[in-house]
Amino acid sequence: MREHHLTVPVPMERVSIRDRFWRGRIDQMAREVIPYQWNALNDNIPGAESSHAVENFKIAAGLANGKFYGERFQDSDVAKWLEAASYSLVSYPSPELEKVMDGVIDLIGRAQQEDGYLNTFFTVAQPENRWKDFSHGHELYCAGHMIEAAVAYYQATGKRKLLDIVCRYVDYIISVMGPEEGKRKVYCGHEEIELALVKLYRATGDEKHLRLSRYFIEERGKQPSFLAEEETFGWIFKDKWFGLDYHQAHAPVREQPHADGHAVRAMYLYAAMADLAAETGDSTLIDALGKVWQSVAGRRMYITGGIGSQGHAERFTFDYDLPNDVAYAETCASIGLVFWMHRMLRLEPNGAYADVMERALYNGVLSGISLDGTRYFYVNPLEVHPEAVRERADHKHVKPERVHWFGCACCPPNIARLLTSLGQYVYSTDVRGVYVHLYMENEAAITVGSHKVTIAQKTEYPWDGDVTLEVHPERECEFTVGLRIPGWCKAWMLMVNGTPVLEPDVARGYAMIRRAWKEGDVIRLLLPMPVERVKAHPLVRENAGKTALQRGPMVYCLEETDNGPNLAGISLSKSADIRTASWEDGPEGAVALEAEACRDDVAGWGQQLYRIGEFPAVPHRMRAVPYSMWGNRRPGEMAVWIRERG
């Protein structure tokens, strides 16, 4: 049983991010992405798939005529947009945006039913089926996202209207579901409300919200499962991939030894379990999370932080099953992984959790949105061959280019709500001091015990590993600063006020510096970033004889626009020197990689399908760019894993 060692994240409003890499993306969220997504939700993007999400609320509110359109969880797109916009208001106050949001909240209030129920699909399209489809109906899932939006808006503005709406809805849910006699013993097929209820509890202080979250988690997986008895269980999908394990409902949560089922559902469940453990100190939940953590990070996660390898059912399959070209790796799943790891860091400041959070953030999450913020990937494979995407049924979920919107648009507003709230992921505190989980230029106002401290972090991370932290306590005080030493960094140096720290105490991946800090003390952490060749576990069959390139937290890939077609034909000598280079047609400051390699001589092969003898090859100057930034120039092939030769 591991130690229960609770830390508290430093709130996002106390962390002002200023660096070149992230500040531009966060600015873009406020200036362009949130307005763009609002237009998409109102069907004002030419050529984009229809959303109809706002119109559904108008119909439910009796302000418009028409039929419900979209997925039955379409309400959640509006909720996630409201949440992202709320976080944006913290850094970028905007009376115009706030007015739009107030109008949406008024609309949501008018769509709420007299008994407190709030869901446009089951109000407009199927009122007779309320609470009859927990497997796929997403009613509680949508409720969870609306709760998260309400808490975020309340915290950003102090306005209670949406908070009161969701509290009324939760009161209604409590009247229908729960452990008490006469109530339904149920839970949602798609987890989300569980973690949202903990947020609501923290905002309201009302124990009934925490109790309901705990009930849903404790009830999950009890057998025989009520889900399997529903008429809708497997109503669309008539195969084993959509069984109880798809919903993480095949066993009680403490008895699930590895990550199974729909990847996003799993991440939201694990995040909720971690939240509940943080509030209750339940060590059995912490132990259960440790098991699924080992499963995900040790055997079922892509090098990019992508999870959920199979497109069919968007799910985990079996250990080391990590195909590249048909990978699903939904953007929302990587976002969920960030959410979960952030909560694990609350339970224990363990650098391994922060390493995975960073890997997913810089690779699996950012790959889901174009550099201009207007195009999106739902699926994030590690190899793309456009002809295969066009011609093969098993590639039908893969897009060779980002698109402007999705009919199932869970990912775009999910990206927005993560990036607009990024400040809360950088630091946390406990009774001993402050932990630095992520490196990005910022200024943070932090309370350590009874002391107020400002930390100013300066760096060009992720392109450079030179990190400086200026410490400004209101008065001289003693506490610990724990700096994460990334798992990818083999050699590092730490200095305080220019003097090397020769034998720093390293605990669970953090270099711990305890001293009496005074005004103007300076910590300097040097994290060298050589280009590393990464190998996959031998049981990852698709990557046998291949290598991937990583520099710092960034995973790299080949693109056809730099290397020509047939990327699978490129091979890299084990002794080849891989150099860093400026990326002229990439973002400012971005680093590309170059090396002398070989490529198969297709023209020299001739017309034979098979032949005996050496593989003809010609010299090739290889160029690799950050995986998260691929697909922003000309369309074409992409590959992360590269053949390696002796």
Write out the catalytic residue numbers. Answer: 314, 410
453: which strand partners? 446, 473
Do 329 and 364 meet the contact criterion of CB atoms below 8 Å apart?
yes
Q: What angle do CA 146, 424, 85 make, to 5 degrees?
A: 40
434: which strand partners? 429, 481
Half-sphere exposure of 93 (CA within 13 A, CB side): 3
Best CA proximity match to 440, nearest among 420, 421, 463, 417: 463
Q: In what order do the strands lie in the sheet with 510-517?
A: 8-9, 427-429, 433-436, 477-484, 510-517, 505-507
Beta-strand (E) ranges in 437-509?
A: 442-448, 451-459, 466-473, 477-484, 493-496, 499-500, 505-507
3-state secondary structure 265-328: HHHHHHHHHHHHHHHHCCHHHHHHHHHHHHHHHHHCECCCCCECCECCCCECCCCCCCCCCCCC
- Sequential DSSP letters for 205-235: --HHHHHHHHHHHHHTT-SS-HHHHSTTTTS
In 312-428, alpha helices (H): 331-347, 351-359, 386-391, 411-419
**DSSP structural state of residue 115:** T
Record the tokens describing residue 455, joined without a space: 């930390």
Decide: helix, strand or coil at residue 542. helix
